[in-house]
Structure 1
Amino acid sequence: MTGSPDELAALLDGTGYLPDDGVATAAFLALRLGRPLFCEGEPGTGKTSLATALARALDLPLVRLQCHEGIDAAQALYEWDFPRQLLHLRALEAGANGGLDPAEAERSLYTERFLLARPLLRALRERCVLLVDEVDRADDEFEAFLLQVLDENAVTIPELGEVRAADPPLVVLTSNRTREVHDALKRRCLYHWLEHPGLAREVAILRRRLPGVGERLAGQVATAVQRLRQQDLLKPPGVAESLDWARALMALGRDELDAETAGRTLGAVLKYSEDTDRVRTQLDALLA
């Protein structure tokens, strides 16, 4: 347990993640109060990276549950390995010579040997950082199921009994706000909205994550990305795109960003043809 937000910020900094005061305080309170941390914001603001950095800073395993449309409890919690169960049953039948006890055979099928633990069950069994990524992509039914698991820190497997977390995980939920997550889930969490970093912090992130990048190139990339975010783009670039752009320029042996090179490498920072077409006509202003 860290003693203060500043101490946690220093630990996160040691992993290469540069938190602002708000992020460090929210993460510290989630740890201290034992509450899930609900992180919302635009794509590329470092929500997923925060969970990864927390796991590294606290020396805990990271268990990730990637949400998507149609995800259900079985995919998140556990499933039985039916092919192996079937092979086991056939082996029992072959060796029983007609004397197979049905009740004993059934009991042997539902043991840990055939249990496939999915992320939520794994997180209840060991102290970890549980990342529930892009929870806004799941449907209402899964959200209600998740709410129950987070409330109780326990699940019941009918064939085996209750599994309760001896040491509940640190839970980080992320949302890109493609839909509104229900208030019932948010009320059980500490909430933090993540903004894109300011210019100085983005330069610091580039210099930290890419030790070989020069100060001039890092400043030019960060400035250009900051200006791109102010435009009406289909997908404004996040920090990940800033890093990709700087890596691309370094791979080309560039130590500064000019209009010609920017035009050739826009695919590293913009992901829609409509955005690249629009920006190509404004490269001089972008780099001025």
Structure 2
Amino acid sequence: MTPRAIPVPPAIAALPHDARGYPTPAITPRDPEGHPTFAITSAARSLICAVERRCSICGTPMPPGPVYRVIAAAETEALVAAQAAGRSVANKAPSPEAPGHRICMLFAAFTCPFLARPNARRGQDAEVMGAALTRGTARGSSTETGNEIGGAVAGFADYEFRYTPGENQVAFVFTGLTELRPHHLGADQIPELIAALAGSDSQPPADARPATDAQPPVQADAQPPVQADAQPPAQTCPPYLLNDEAVAEAHARAILEAAMARRQ
């Protein structure tokens, strides 16, 4: 299977694409010329997605039920250990990473360069939840369970968020693990993405068992995946989460002003 044979969720296929042909997530800020800055996330866009319950990848609404994110190796190990011990499983450490649809996070797991490989490194400096992450910081991997783990696609029953104006950050907390699909490479999730797009993703998984039969990874860095026969998405990303950063920031300000007015 080649990257071009990998189908793309329709709502992601409908997003703006960069010069290389890669879809640009709703959460990704744009520079003044409208070009995406993939290495960081936008607080304004994160706030919009949090308040309006929109997927951070495709920008369309998330229905009631579980939400998903791609987590790193250390978080995966902690959740696997909690499951094995029969403890209540949650992800209560604040994270700047906004949630999304299951199908979108399966796609992000192998298309986002920083999520796809445990040895991936940051392309530029960033400050996340008060911690400085320097250019070159590795995502990391773990072998504590006897398996090479580079991360996982995790589902949670619910999320809460907090916006700190002075820090201009949105922090998310996730509770009630509903699914955990560990992987070594993000491309291990490709068979599940294909199954989800074929229709088996219509109902949320009934349990949270880890994926144990990962398929051999598929090369995912040669060319951006292209969906040959995409059906028109039922919903598309709203204009304020597309390429105009000023419009996104104005929409976020309107949300904050409305929240402040309700408190008065």
Q: What is the TM-score normalised by the length of structure 2? A: 0.28
Q: What is the TM-score normalised by the length of structure 1? A: 0.26
Mark the structure with the bigger radius of gyration: 1
Q: Quick one: higher RCO (CA 8 Å, sep 6+), 1 or 2? A: 2
Higher percent of residues as helix: 1
